[in-house]
Amino acid sequence: MKQKHKKNEFESDFENSELDALNEEIDDLKKLSKAERKMLRAAKRKGVDRSTLDPYDQSDKAEFKRYAKKHKATVAIVSITIALLLAIIGTVVAILIIRQQGKPSSANYEVTVGDDKPYTLSYKEANSYGQFYFDLCSIAKYSDLVVSGSERRVKFTCPDGTYVRFVNDSATATVNGDAVKVGGKVKIIPSTEKEEGKCLVPFKFIEKLFSHKADGNSVGMVAKVSSKNKVTIHRISYSNGSQPPISFASECFDYADDMQISSYPNPNIDARTASAICVSKLYLVNKSNPMREEEITTNGLVSLKSLNCPTVDGLEDYDSKDFFDPTAALALIAMINEANKTLEGGDKILVSSAYRSFSYQEGLHEKYIDNYMDEHDVSEEEAREQTLLTSAPAGKSEHHSGLCVDLVESRAAQRELDETFEDTEAFAWLSQNAHKYGFILRYPKDKTDITKYSYEPWHYRFVGVYAATIIYEDNITLEEYLADFE
């Protein structure tokens, strides 16, 4: 009953009018929004003298409303900022998780080769382009591989002669002559006085390299990387203790698309065939490697004119001079058409010479000797010697192969093949782009000691996109390219 007594006391202390005013004030307080009440509490926390703010005073009420509005805006900005930050953090975390998947943790690797003591391979060194790389040089000895090559190209040869060859920065390798996909760019680190050279290759490629099977048995080696960052590489031993030899087979790999360039009109050919075709074109015809007369034939060649290839007038009428290798012809036409789009004033690149028969080259060479004798008033012997620098005797001209062409510009007043071709727009374009179509400048200016031919800016040879790109990028000749690996 104590409470009731209190109430009575309370009621008795107030006049009715005062009670009405109080009720009104309570109603006003109720009308304060949640935000206004929050502001009131915030004012209290900040030590603002709340007693100076009178929620029943009209001007103070307006003040409360301003606070409330500001508060709402602040809350909205803070909320949006937090939401954005969370979204960004979430995205970053998601990306990191996705990138981390399938990748070993960032601890170093413990590598065991055969029965040797394990060694540590740093995570940093072993991880490039988001995958695990392994130095094939480090196991060459253990796997009986002979290492050869240069600073940019390394070849590993098995005892049975099968081989794999890598080019620095290239995602294409060659296994027994076939261009195959590596699955990542190879990194070749040349050796220094302090450290041995390295050939860092995606581990998945190395696994495949050694997983070649013969008669249902794995040949040679097993290479594995476990989730605990342990790498083991060991030779296979048969139950009788003998070890099968190491051998490589290109069939284990995806073939590189050697012919797949945008304007290459050869949709019906698969990468395996393309690669094999291009490899079959990689041979030398020069003064040291002549073709026999009976090998020099138009069999298997096609007429460039019949394929609408731009040629000089009448080329097709003369001793099969417009004949060309059918694969190389497709690349040649694509290349010339592309170049001609860019030449100013409607100028055009034309083929002035393609295939040459034995008898044609014989006649041509003798004519050059006669001309030289007439012009320089020298003995036939000396004329013969001098002519050899610019012309090949029958059998020794690359033109016999049906794989090379001499090119001229249509607007040139005379179409003699001379070094002025170097100053043409056509030459500028070919210098930058011919390799993309599988062609190389066969007799460069600074390589005459290797090619044994004078500089010929007009003479281009088809070798396939893969070889042409290496020859172009390394600034080497076909002689050097082939010598490196044969």
SS (H, E, C) 145-177: CEEEECCCEEEEECCCCCEEEEECCCCEEEECC
How many contiguous H segments (helices) and E segments (strands) does the chain have? 14, 21
Question: Interior CA angle at 329 toward 326 and 332, to 5°?
Answer: 160
Which single residue brings its beta carbon nearest to Zn ion? Answer: 459
Q: In terms of Cα–Cα distance, which of 122, 123, 124, 151 is closest to 137? A: 151
Task: Using the Cα atoms of residue 299, residue 300, residue 303 and residue 304 in order, give the sign of their dihedral.
Answer: negative
CB of 482 to Zn ion, least distance (A): 19
Nearer to Zn ion, 258 or 406 (CB): 406
What residues have CB less than 8 Å from 475, skipping those under 6 apart?
444
Q: Which stretch binds Zn ion (CB under 5 A): 121-129, 271-279, 331-339, 458-466?
A: 458-466
Nearer to Zn ion, 64 or 462 (CB): 462
Q: Which stretch binds Zn ion (CB under 5 A): 36-44, 119-127, 455-463, 470-478?
A: 455-463
Residue 92, burial from CB neighbour count under 10 angstroms (0-12, 13-18, 19+): exposed
- Tracing tokens 């998601």 back to the chain, one arrives at 94
Nearer to Zn ion, 135 or 406 (CB): 406
DSSP string, 68-116: HHHHHHHHHHHHHHHHHHHHHHHHHHHHHHHHHTTS--SSPEEEEETTS
Distance CA 394, CA 404 (A): 16
Q: For strands 230-235 and 109-113, give the pairing.
A: parallel
Q: Which stretch binds Zn ion (CB under 5 A): 134-142, 265-273, 295-303, 400-408?
A: 400-408
* Residue among 325, 406, 409, 484 that touches Zn ion (CB under 5 A): 406
CB of 461 to Zn ion, least distance (A): 9
CB of 448 to Zn ion, least distance (A): 15
CB of 450 to Zn ion, least distance (A): 17
Cα-Cα end-to-end distance for the chain: 115
Angle between helices 58-100 and 34-45 (to 10 degrees): 90
Nearer to Zn ion, 179 or 354 (CB): 354
CB of 397 to Zn ion, least distance (A): 8
Nearer to Zn ion, 400 or 459 (CB): 459
| Positions in 12-41 near Zn ion (CB under 5 A) | none
Nearer to Zn ion, 198 or 459 (CB): 459
Using CB under 5 A as the binding rule, whether residue 461 contacts Zn ion is answered as no
Judged by CB under 5 A, the number of residues near Zn ion is 2
CB of 364 to Zn ion, least distance (A): 11
Q: Give the x/- contact pattern for Zn ion in 348-387, rule: CB under 5 A.
A: ----------------------------------------
Nearer to Zn ion, 178 or 406 (CB): 406
Amino acid at residue number 266: N
Q: Which stretch binds Zn ion (CB under 5 A): 174-182, 273-281, 339-347, 456-464?
A: 456-464
* Residue among 301, 459, 463, 472 that touches Zn ion (CB under 5 A): 459
For Zn ion, the binding residues (CB under 5 A) are: 406, 459
